[in-house]
């Protein structure tokens, strides 16, 4: 149980375009989802916390107009990178908090974004 999927796994786009990444909890309802960015050989950098039905809470330094987050249901959160630039190239990982408020975060497989 506690499976989180993420789509797409890889995406290559041109500079200036927008990219949407989906994160789904497959076998549980996740009231809270998290979006992370991970640079090569580095730790997980929390970008934002997403609660179902409310606006996401962004971490300091993360542009909310550039990284649009929508958490429309208890099983789906989306991250849209708007007007992507090469410096946005990274590994983006979502996670969903465990069932029944158990604190455990379960991670998606990640999305490798490359902006040309």
Partner 1 sequence: GENVEQHPSTLSVQEGDSAVIKCTYSDSASNYFPWYKQELGKRPQLIIDIRSNVGEKKDQRIAVTLNKTAKHFSLHITETQPEDSAVYFCAAKTGGFKTIFGAGTRLFVKA
Sites of contact with partner 1 (CB under 8 A): 34, 41-44, 46, 49, 93, 103-110
CA distance 72 to 43: 28
CB of 109 to partner 1, least distance (A): 5
CB of 93 to partner 1, least distance (A): 7
Q: Which is nearer to partner 1, 44 or 68 (CB)?
A: 44
Q: Which is nearer to partner 1, 43 or 54 (CB)?
A: 43
Please compute Rg for the chain using Cα positions.
Answer: 13
| Helical segments of 41-102, H only | none
CB of 63 to partner 1, least distance (A): 19
The terminus-to-terminus CA distance of the chain in angstroms comes to 37
Q: Which is nearer to partner 1, 81 or 93 (CB)?
A: 93
CB of 44 to partner 1, least distance (A): 5
Exposure on the CB side of residue 63, measured as CA atoms within 13 A? 8
CA torsion 47→81→89→87, rounded to 10°?
Answer: -90
Q: Which is nearer to partner 1, 74 or 82 (CB)?
A: 74
């Amino acid at each position: 149980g506690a499976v989180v999927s993420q789509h797409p796994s890889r995406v290559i786009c041109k500079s200036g375009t927008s990219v949407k990444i989906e994160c789904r909890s497959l076998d549980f309802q996740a009231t809270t989802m998290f979006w992370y960015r991970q640079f090569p050989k580095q730790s997980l950098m929390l970008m934002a916390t997403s609660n179902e039905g409310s606006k996401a809470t962004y971490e300091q330094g993360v542009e909310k107009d550039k990284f649009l987050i929508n958490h429309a249901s208890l099983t789906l959160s989306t991250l849209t990178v708007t007007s992507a630039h090469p410096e946005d190239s990274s590994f983006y990982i979502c996670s969903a908090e465990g069932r029944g408020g158990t604190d455990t975060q379960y991670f998606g497989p990640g999305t490798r974004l490359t902006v040309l």
